[in-house]
Chains A and B, each alone.
Chain A
């Protein structure tokens, strides 16, 4: 969808300035690109020893267009006793990445498991992680062109997008918004009535 047709995003979930709802189990930080490494280094020093995942979101009409989301976990410091449950600390760090120069610092040296996660985001969203030891495609074939999870990537691929879909693929069995057909509805009612142990309409009771 070209951005010229996009409705205003002020105050919606797409708005990068919008206040996100409090989520009970996680602290959420939105930071600038430049402070990514310093923030994550600090969080790691605070005990977030585990990088659970790195996600990316394409908001297309928004600027910055992408959000890269780091999910961190700090395991409970002391072992939980019999009567209590150790509560881990969960942290989510959001970074906006603009359409032009979609680059971000790599964090493979902080958490080695960021390697494949960053490769996946590079593969599917085209966000380049600077400092990554080997930024190659991981899911698509190595000679693939484009980044398929971008919202402006054609679903059927650039080569096939222009070919028309077969007519049966566009046709639904049921017209949109149509009430259930009389026969079907009657059969359904009968079935329901039978299940309830009652005689359906037009049927004799036992």
Chain B
């Protein structure tokens, strides 16, 4: 994009659309375990996820673009997460936050799903137990980067 002497900008529609989409990735209000505490803290003034346009945690999957799987997924919860993911409108992204969501973590037992990627497709994994809020913000940045480059799920990406 370039600035013209008058009060307007020129750019490709692709770039403008992707810029708008990357700046409004709305997460789903869904906390599963202790990682959710760190997820909540990204909305506070110290970390301020609003800088990236993602402060609007939507209570309905119909209005959400991003699912943050923040914590261990119980076997009983797995079909519910799948259902929420299916209810989200395309394009949509998933962040697997923390060791438990990514691999089961310390819970190598009958009750916990060993990695949420066995249930829904994951775009970014955030390591940590729990990850710092910065880690989650970085994951969001990676998704924004993906969108700006017209990657998977981009507004003009080919299916």
Contact = CB atoms under 8 A, between A and B. Distances in A.
Contacts of B111: 140, 148
A17 to B, nearest CB: 34
Interface string B101-124: 000000011110010000000000
Contact of B110 (A148, A165, A169): A148
B76 interface: yes
A141 B75 contact: yes
How would you classify the secondary structure of chain B's contact residues: helix, strand, loop or mixed? loop
Interface string A134-149: 0000011100100010
Contacts of B108: 155-156, 165, 169
Contact of A155 (B75, B76, B110, B114): B110
Interface in B29-46: none
Contacts, number: 24
Interface residues of A, number: 13
Contacts of A131: none
A154 interface: yes
Q: How large is the interface on B (under 10, 10 to 19, 20 to 34, 35 or more residues)?
A: under 10
Contact of A140 (B76, B79, B109): B76
Contacts of B79: 141
Contact of A156 (B75, B76, B110): B110
Contacts of A29: none
Nearest to B103: A166
B76 A153 contact: no
A165 B114 CA distance: 12
A172 to B, nearest CB: 14
A151 B93 CA distance: 41
A157 B110 contact: yes
B75 A154 contact: no
B109 A157 contact: yes
A88 to B, nearest CB: 35
Nearest to B114: A160
A139 B110 CA distance: 13
A153 B110 contact: yes
A161 to B, nearest CB: 9
Smallest CB-CB A-B distances: 4 pairs: A157-B110, A141-B76, A155-B109, A148-B110
17 contacts: A139-B76, A140-B75, A140-B76, A140-B111, A141-B76, A144-B75, A148-B111, A154-B110, A155-B108, A155-B110, A156-B109, A156-B110, A157-B109, A157-B110, A160-B114, A165-B108, A169-B108
